[in-house]
Structure 1
Amino acid sequence: METQNQNIIKPKVWQILGKTITKCKTSAEAIQEAGLDFTVWKHPNLHALPSGNNIISDNSYFTFRTDTEAILGDKVGCDYEMVQNVDAFGFFDSIIENYGGLHYESAGSLGYGALTYITAKLPEYIKVGRSDLIEQYLFLTSTHDGTGSMTIAFTPVRIYCANTLNAALQNCSNCIKIRHTASAAEKLKSAHKLLGLTNQLSTEMEAIFNRWSRVRISDPELKRLIQLAMVPNKETYELLKTGKESELSSQFNNTVSAVLDYSLTSPSQQEATTKGTLFGFYNSVTGYYQNVKGYRDNEAKFKSIMGGTGLQRNQTAFELCNDFAKQGSSIFN
């Protein structure tokens, strides 16, 4: 059962965990202000054998913070290269110096520092219709537990409801991923090329969102689009495609009802750009994960929206919008 009030706009997903750092001029200041000024090292794992002997591994390591000695990852390889926060975030400094109006907004961490992040806000907006504004951010995450790459992403956020409108365009990814290897530091230096992509992404997304805002959809079409966007597995998809909706699970139907209710009743969904439009459907899915769905905790919400189920549903809704804009309701057949 959904317990959160859909009419209350929640903070941006990274604000619920991080710290506001708008007054910081450099990434070093931001890291210190957000409590991310720690270093990470790795150490060989120790294997305790039944005989009582202990063997130090030569190919299995764990990572830990040197200040608290908190273990961040317990199984990384010998070629895993640590990239400290100050180095991972440092590339933003040169971008901010060369991009007028770009400034830091927030920084934070998950899991005792296993994942750290920083955001920088671009000065321009994506404008949909007359007054529906979407803020633009560069969002960097770096992991210290061996489970992921450093990721630098272009992330638009709709002001009305703080929805992260993350989605990869068909001809252009919205992010750069850099593996933790010996060459990661060199690759990080080239990450500024994402700024070149932001102009392309911003222009394309503005055109796409405005096109969607002019495509009218009926309430039955809205419900079907929501059903397709929220499909959790192949079995559910097959039931939808074959018209066996009576066999759909109550959990799935409840989720669809929650998204539909948000779309039809939330104040943020009553704007001319969203009410009864394809753009409104897209925002109903992103808004559900941002403002309605209940989570175990804030870290679970962050992970879902920025890299988990929420992001996957966002991408599915984006693709459905593209298909519907071209083919109309024939995509339901």
Structure 2
Amino acid sequence: MGHNLNFNVTTGRYSFFSVKEIAWHNLGQIVTDYTTSAEAFKHAGLDYEVVKSPLYTIGNDLIQAGQDLETADTQLTVPNYFANVRNDNNTVLGVVGKDYHIVQNRDAFSFFDAIVGGEDGILYETAGALGNGERIFITAKLPGYIRVGNGDDVTEKYLFLTTSHDGSGSITAAFTPIRIVCRNTLNASLKNMTNVVRIKHTSGAKQRLEDAHKVMGLANTLSHQLESIFNEWSTIRVKNEEVKKLIQLALCPNKETFDLLKKGAYDELSTNFKNMVEDAFAYAMVNDTQQMDTTKGTLFGAYNAVTGYYQNVRNYKDDEAKLQSIVMGGTAQNRAQKAFELCSGFAKNDSGIFLMN
């Protein structure tokens, strides 16, 4: 299976670092202690800059004359477009417009430092570059925890940031709680809120600083509300058949499958879908993390059955695919959000049945 981590031929190292945890096919630099942003920046091999370089082409007369494009002397400037180029190896990372504002890798770390007012408050856990270095990502742990039950079930608060240098999207920062006992990524956004902030590459430094504080405010608000919700869910009892129903609805991929579930036509469901449901249900019933006071036979445990399935059971073709699915708006994140909405509805209804809506 591929990994798509950037390999820097100049240094002979992969552009990735992680604290303690071995990941990404055992590649990159593993450090034993949390580092400063400057150290994380270097460990991850992100200490290169990106510059906008003019684009050129050749005249139509030379093309029609059949001249070799690579040896043609006459150059025409391509107006309003530029190539983003790495300054350390001259690799072209993408083509962008004149209004595109480069956010240097160093700026991404500065953005994180600004969120909590300095390096002492945030712990950089992973960072790296993909492809030729056109896309980078950072995960960092925030101070404090979300505590469920008597305090033994603890969720750490993380921020995830990704940005690209190829013009393919905005800077994205997401608040992502992670349950320590099983490393479940508990993606959930509350009503009228989102756990993601997107920042355009046309934004200036002042706007990015304002957005940094917006992300921190979002994280604080979400963590306080989620702690209250998860604690409530840990006291609500659910039956095994209700857990399975939640899993079926949360993992439901399309309207056709939903209609079959609604009329109880389980024999007509696809084998792939039924296998996913059975794997998630088995996780819910037997995994050690599902036998805690906060999870065994509770609504919080039912929710964790879905997030835990995608985090700990489901197979992915590579680490990047898992990252995309769980954190960056992919299938797992969408299914986790569906599970969150279903559990919220169950808690309000207290009817003993997950509604088919």
Structure with higher Rg: it is 2
Contact 1:89–1:140 (CA under 8 A) maintained in structure 2? no
The match for 1:331 is 355
The match for 2:230 is 209
**Which among 336, 343, 346 is matched to residue 321 of structure 1?**
343
1:15 to partner: Cα distance: 6.5
Contact 2:242–2:354 (CA under 8 A) maintained in structure 1? no
Kindly provide the amino acid, as one letter, of the partner of residue 163 in structure 1.
N
| 1:62 to 1:218, Cα distance in 2 relative to 1, 3 A | farther
> Using the alignment, how far apart are the partners of 1:253 and 1:72 within structure 2?
42
The match for 2:8 is none
| 1:205 to 1:259, Cα distance in 2 relative to 1, 3 A | same
> Using the alignment, how far apart are the partners of 2:88 and 2:282 within structure 1?
48
Kindly provide the amino acid, as one letter, of the partner of residue 264 in structure 2.
G
The match for 1:16 is 23
The match for 1:28 is 38
Unaligned 5+ runs, structure 2? 1-17, 70-75
The match for 1:38 is 48
TM-score by length of structure 2 reads 0.81
Matched position secondary structure for 1:137: strand
The 5-angstrom pairing of residues 23-102 of structure 1 reads 23-25=34-36, 27-43=37-53, 51=64, 52=66, 57-73=78-94, 75-97=95-117, 101-102=121-122
> Using the alignment, how far apart are the partners of 2:175 and 2:29 within structure 1?
20
Residue 225 in 1 paired to residue 246 in 2?
yes
**Which among 283, 288, 296 is matched to residue 317 of structure 2?**
296
**Which among 108, 112, 133 is matched to residue 113 of structure 1?**
133
How many residue pairs get aligned? The number is 319
Show CA shifts across 1:136-175 (max 9, x none): 1222221222222112222110001101112211132222
The match for 1:6 is none
The 5-angstrom pairing of residues 108-147 of structure 1 reads 108-130=128-150, 131-147=152-168
Matched position secondary structure for 1:112: coil
Query: Which segment drifts farther, 104-113 or 244-253?
Result: 104-113
Query: Which segment drifts farther, 53-62 or 223-232?
Result: 53-62
1:56 to partner: Cα distance: 5.0
Show CA shifts across 1:16-53 (max 9, x none): 2475564422x233211211111123445666876357
Identity %: 50
> Using the alignment, how far apart are the partners of 1:215 and 1:61 within structure 2?
57
| 1:47 to 1:219, Cα distance in 2 relative to 1, 3 A | farther
> Using the alignment, how far apart are the partners of 1:108 and 1:208 within structure 2?
34
1:199 to partner: Cα distance: 2.3
| 1:318 to 1:62, Cα distance in 2 relative to 1, 3 A | farther
The 5-angstrom pairing of residues 175-254 of structure 1 reads 175-181=196-202, 183-190=203-210, 191-254=212-275
Contact 2:128–2:137 (CA under 8 A) maintained in structure 1? yes
Give the structure, 1 or 2, with the largest relative contact order (CA under 8 Å, sep 6 or more): 1
The 5-angstrom pairing of residues 251-270 of structure 1 reads 251-270=272-291
> Using the alignment, how far apart are the partners of 1:32 and 1:256 within structure 2?
43
The match for 1:4 is none
| 1:70 to 1:267, Cα distance in 2 relative to 1, 3 A | farther
> Using the alignment, how far apart are the partners of 2:107 and 2:121 within structure 1?
23
Kindly provide the amino acid, as one letter, of the partner of residue 168 in structure 2.
T
Unaligned 5+ runs, structure 1? 1-10
Show CA shifts across 1:226-275 (max 9, x none): 01111111211122123222211111111111111111111111111111
